[in-house]
Structure 1
């Protein structure tokens, strides 16, 4: 709670023109004037009461001044000057008296002059009222809501409502059950009408605590004055409650993750660090700004080179004097450039297997340096002219055709084809099996030990032709 001590109402000082009693009336001696400077002193500030004593010209005798004193009406004396000498008729004397009061309030005083004039004793009393006000720079303390064990800010306002400048200010903040960092502030001066705010980092250690601001300064008259202000703190016990939610942004090669961290507690979260792990391996980390109590911070967390799988998002933090962590897990799916073989076909050509198809990019980023090649294996060997085929770059969602040759025997059931490429700078490699179960066997080669059946078939035709010709000639005879 803010408290500003109001200034007391200025005292209207009424000074009578003359005041004297008893023998002074006969001796024609008087106090003609009393002034107070400053006329409204503050606690601890020295003030001066200047008394003008006059011996009238008509007085036949000089005035021997024994004492001029400042006292309460009950006779308690505060200041005096003795043996001031002789005051001739028609002359006057100014006598200064100084004093200070440490408490605010109205002081009912009197100035008393004693002496002798001729053979008469003289005593003159002059009534005086002085108000000691709460003056000079005023101090007030402003506090935010506080929590035990949690650092907060205390603001001390120093306001100078005086007409003069306060100098050499030294402000100290102390406390009960409160830790204070750098508890002293200094300033060379504070001008008339000026207000200055000084901030302090404080950390209450219990639910009942107090702060005291002590200001020391020098007045325009050179007096050193001290003023204090005290406030009670009522911090809450620490309530820790932090939540986290995460969602993967749809689409993209390496989709970012939106992470929402909510501080349901009553103390700020500091040293907040967001981390992502896959298979207990940290793949990304990021520091976040402090999160005030009862507030939420949402950040887009970019991750890269993360394999598909469960992605765990964790937030580590400090609140009050405690450390904590919250985490959540989301399924993470990436879609970088990836080559698959599509439209694969084959046929026999000159005793070799001719394989054609497309290297298709089914991802969302380009792939580079794509090579497809026949892998030697059981019953399969690469063959000329294309044992391997350099496809090159395949844009996202596009394809490039390729040609390969292999020799296979009767035991082969599939042709293994290796696919190699760069995706986001990472070399990828996989093997694609091309089944050849429906491949027709090759036609058998001609026998080498005897005549071909075509020879016998051709010879029979010749014999038939000869017999037919001979019969035709016989009948014509």
Structure 2
């Protein structure tokens, strides 16, 4: 049986050079995994010592060793550190180490904590991983838990799934390598919307014959069987939410047997499918007869269509939209497709340093507006006819969430609450 554990990851979208294809954030050279988390005793009394044992592994997918600088057990809400240790040695690729932290809690109740592991790789880069830990101090009654068995649901990526967990859904033929293999199709994991349904037993008896029944307001879905859940442990199954194209409220009811009684616990998940987004690529800037023309591709790398997309020139002290293409109606951009655009502007060539480009669009029914400041470096038609080569604007503009500023481009974003 596994102990309580949940993994977390973050996603970063960056800005690259024009010759590159937009990509997700760089994967750290060190692939660290925190697993086998055990709390002893499972339900400690107030004031008594509680020990959290866990394993830190530098997985075989890493390309560097790491030095384990610090581990800590802290509160997830306010960051209070309950226990920590430092300078714990090094891990080569494929190595792991089992560590423990001990503390005591003055008051009974549910403690929402997390393990923090801070390391430094061979290039001096810091790599930090966290792992949530829940401790019930004083037992179920003292903690105020009215139901011995509880169920929780949240969306996850395949990369968050432990190798020893049973993946009970079909990821499809293109999903090889999603669990840490050598597949070059890593981006495919973003196309697999999974919901992790975790059944946790805070009681003193084993929950047997556990079945999770998903449902929406309109239909009941196929039930999922869960292995018996021993006291103080949690077991998970995975629900494939790929059938839902629109935001949907999904209820997960876990029914189970304790002794001779049949009981149930449920939770709801406000599931929202991944939205479409707009990325500007292959941007070019030319000058002809005093008018600057900006051309490029408006692409949608997201997991949903983008509608009503418009690309327009922004107005500044030195730049203003100009005839014949002050703005370009791109319209609908399906998932993994792009549309070519061109817009024109009058530019004060002596003083302008950037040209703002704004994109407005609808994603999943919500309006968005994104602006990128393009470095002004227009090439005239005569320059190109004289043998000039290469794209004068060395930037790929990512109109996305988190960004890395590069190539002289700055990006801002806001969600529209209304339009005049």
TM-score norm. by structure 2 comes to 0.34
User: Does 1 or 2 have the higher relative contact order (CA < 8 Å, sep 6+)?
Assistant: 2
From the two aligned structures, give the one with the greater strand fraction: 1
Bigger Rg, structure 1 or 2: 1
